[in-house]
Amino acid sequence: MANVASLPIMLKELKLAGFTQHWEDLAQKALDEQWLPQQYLAELCAQETSVRCHRRLQRYLRESQLPPAKQLSRFDFADAQGITKAQIMALVQQTYWVKQAENVLLFGASGVGKTHLACGIAYTLIEQGHRVKFTTATHLVQSLQHAKETLRLAEVLTRMDKYSVLIIDDIGYVKKDNQETMALFELIAHRYETGSLIITSNQPFSDWDQIFNNGMMAVAAIDRLVHHATILEMGGESYRMKASMQRRGGKKVTDDN
């Protein structure tokens, strides 16, 4: 028969953090309320599940590298143009598109809230148990190019498969370099129908020949992205410009000032 005194050690060995934290309090409660053994065990399992879910959520948030304070609750839908709150809530409430490796493409001028919206969607997906990774397009292509040069590109692409959703922010700022854009294309081709992408861009598809090294590559990348995609085009004024004007008392900045 096991010694009760060794229970904390055994729970630690089994990595049952929820059991370790709550077994004594629940044992007393079980005695006071005359629980059946099965009920006591069920309560302990519920606590263990809760602890593990919380830890998993924290781990997913850390590894996502999402910018802070960009949850959907902080997004001002009243000033957003071209999209509605209902559209975005449908994406986070009906997440079949993640399971089916579909994409979300956000277009609009700089400062209209594309990054905030993409991150807000991602935060909600993480809460639902999806693994997400955020990266700027510039940082991503540089990392992929380095991996390609060191013959590790296939390994890096496979490692990204663990993320259900990969956010590529500001794809329009990628330099038109043959090696970088080729690596970016290989990522898009690798993720096609296997993992979701959320991409933000201040350039419409018609200008993507300025991103990729040649028109054929641009067409092939667009074809893969839009095959299974929700495309959102955002309008309105730049949030940063409006904030700047508010700080200046509503005075619009001109070249003469």
What pLDDT is recorded for position 102?
A: 98
256: in domain: no
For the sheet containing 196-201, what is the strand order? 132-136, 165-169, 196-201, 103-107, 229-233
Residues spanned by the domain of 161: 65-243
Residue 130 sits in the same domain as residue 27: no
What SS3 state is found at 166?
Answer: strand
* Residues 69 and 59 occupy one common structural domain: no
Predicted pLDDT of residue 254: 39
pLDDT tens across 108-139, in order? Answer: 998 899 999 999 999 999 999 999 999 999 99
CATH classification of the domain holding 150: 3.40.50.300
Q: What is the pLDDT of residue 117?
A: 97
Contact assessment for residue 153 and residue 147, using Cβ atoms and an 8 Å cutoff: yes
Place of tokens 């991996």: 147
Give the rounded distance of the alpha carbon of 18 from its chain centre. 28
Same domain, 107 and 159: yes
Query: Running DSSP on this structure, what letter comes out for residue 23?
Result: H
Return the axis-axis angle of helices 17-33 and 37-64, rounded to nearest 10°. 150
What is the chain's pLDDT, residue by residue, as a tens digit (257 residues)?
677 888 888 888 889 998 998 999 999 999 999 999 999 999 999 999 999 999 999 999 999 999 999 999 999 998 889 999 999 999 999 999 999 999 999 999 988 999 999 999 999 999 999 999 999 999 999 999 999 999 999 999 999 999 999 999 999 888 777 778 889 999 999 999 999 999 999 999 999 988 888 889 999 999 999 999 999 999 877 765 555 556 666 554 433 33
Same domain (yes/no): 168, 185 = yes
Q: Which residue has the tokens 């055994």?
A: 10
Nearest of 120, 76, 81 to residue 232 by alpha carbon: 81
Reading the block at residue 78, the tokens are 């009243």
**C-alpha span between 52 and 46 (Å, rounded):** 10
How many CA atoms within 13 Å lie on the side-chain side of 33? 11
Residue 4 confidence (pLDDT): 83
The answer to whether residue 252 sits within a structural domain is: no
Sign of CA dihedral 18, 68, 94, 140: negative
Instruction: Give domain status of residue 251, yes or no.
Output: no
* Domain match, 88 and 148 both: yes
Do both 85 and 202 map to the same domain? yes
Residue 1 lies inside a defined structural domain of this protein: no
Q: How far apart are alpha carbons 175 and 54 in whole angstroms?
A: 40
Cα 141 to Cα 171: distance, rounded to the nearest angstrom: 10
Q: How many domains does the chain have?
A: 2
Per-residue pLDDT tens digits for 150-173: 999 999 999 999 999 999 999 988
Judgement on whether residues 52 and 91 belong to the same structural domain of the protein: no
Q: What's residue 252's pLDDT?
A: 47
